[in-house]
């Protein structure tokens, strides 16, 4: 059935001694896929120790811990089990509401006016209840045609999701606030903290040199730069570049800046690099 079964109590069979009664109980529970959790005596006297208070479960993987609490409040020690359980998912809530998605007030007024004969007849009636009955019948029947009553799931966070559907960051924030938080296990390093720090230090202290070596190898690879004059790249002298070769800022027209800004996606927040 897929349901958790828990059987516990004083069954009056000593599970520490192989007797016909305890053997029969063990056989029956094994056939039902039940596991006995209590392993130590639950009733201790001056002359005997017996295990008669038991806990059987059908799913041992859900057991966090179990055992016996030694106390003098009774001649039987209490037994306990702690289980890792999840709360059942709440059933969806349904609401009854009118759908105005395709509602057109002009068409509604036209259809309502088509019943003006019956509506006018209300003013010639003396019975108030009859007047209300006719009015409700005409009005509600017409309204049901243009804004039908529907039974739907409660919106919950539908409104917030629709508001942020074009903003990934805000959308995930709404989702995380409305789902169960799953505790994550922190990463445990097997190495000594000093050794980890030294490895980080070595990596970041040599990353520039290693990147330069790889860049030098790539720039001399003809498959990457097939027709490139490498004379400037291989220059090793420390002479400064000519005045015309130095970097300098140049004016940028407003139209170019405007085109760059308009090309940015409107549904995302640009970072500092844009």
The ranges assigned to domains in the chain are 6-83, 94-178
The CA distance from 100 to 121, in Å, is 30
The CA-atom distances, in angstroms, between 182 and each of 86, 161, 176, 179, 186 are 12, 21, 10, 9, 12
pLDDT of 54: 94
Does pTM top 0.75 for this prediction? no
Closest CA to 99 of 151, 139, 55: 151
- As a three-state string, the secondary structure of 20-82 is HHHHHHHHHHHHCCCEECCCCCCEECCCCEECCEEEEECCHHHEEEEEECCCCCCCCCCEEEE
pLDDT of 71: 86
95: phi then psi, degrees, rounded to nearest 5? -125, 155
H or E segment and range at residue 140 = helix 128-146
98: left (phi over 0), alpha (psi -120 to 50) or beta: beta
Which tokens in the block code for residue 197? 């720090």
- pLDDT truncated to tens, each residue of the chain (274 aa)? 568 899 999 988 899 988 888 888 888 888 888 999 999 999 988 889 999 999 999 988 899 999 999 988 888 999 999 998 877 777 777 778 888 888 899 999 999 999 988 888 988 899 999 999 999 999 999 999 999 988 876 666 667 777 777 888 887 877 776 664 544 544 445 557 787 788 888 888 888 888 888 887 777 776 655 555 555 545 555 555 555 556 678 888 999 988 888 888 777 666 555 5
């Amino acid at each position: 059935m897929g349901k958790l079964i828990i059987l516990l109590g004083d069954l009056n069979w000593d599970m520490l001694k192989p007797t016909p009664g305890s053997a029969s109980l063990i056989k029956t529970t094994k056939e039902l896929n039940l596991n006995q959790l209590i392993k130590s005596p639950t009733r201790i006297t001056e002359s005997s120790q017996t295990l008669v208070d038991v806990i059987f479960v059908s799913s041992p993987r859900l057991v966090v811990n179990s055992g016996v609490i030694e106390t003098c409040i009774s001649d039987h020690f209490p037994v306990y089990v702690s289980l890792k359980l999840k709360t059942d998912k709440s059933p969806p809530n349904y609401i009854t509401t009118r759908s105005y998605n395709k509602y057109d007030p002009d068409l509604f007024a036209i259809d309502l006016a088509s019943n003006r004969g019956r509506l006018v007849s209300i003013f010639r009636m003396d019975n108030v209840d009859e007047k209300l009955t006719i009015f409700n019948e005409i009005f509600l029947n017409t309204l049901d045609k243009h804004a039908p009553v529907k039974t739907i799931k409660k919106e919950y966070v539908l409104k917030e999701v629709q508001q942020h559907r074009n903003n990934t960051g805000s959308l995930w924030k709404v989702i995380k606030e409305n789902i169960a938080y799953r505790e994550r296990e922190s990463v445990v390093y097997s190495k000594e903290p000093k050794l980890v720090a030294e490895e980080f230090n070595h990596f970041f202290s040599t990353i520039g040199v290693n990147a330069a070596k790889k860049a030098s190898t790539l720039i001399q690879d003809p498959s990457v730069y097939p027709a490139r004059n490498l004379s400037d790249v291989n220059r090793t002298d420390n002479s400064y570049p000519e005045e015309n070769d130095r970097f300098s800022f140049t004016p940028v027209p407003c139209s170019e800046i405007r085109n760059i800004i308009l090309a940015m996606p409107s549904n995302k927040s640009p970072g500092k690099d844009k």
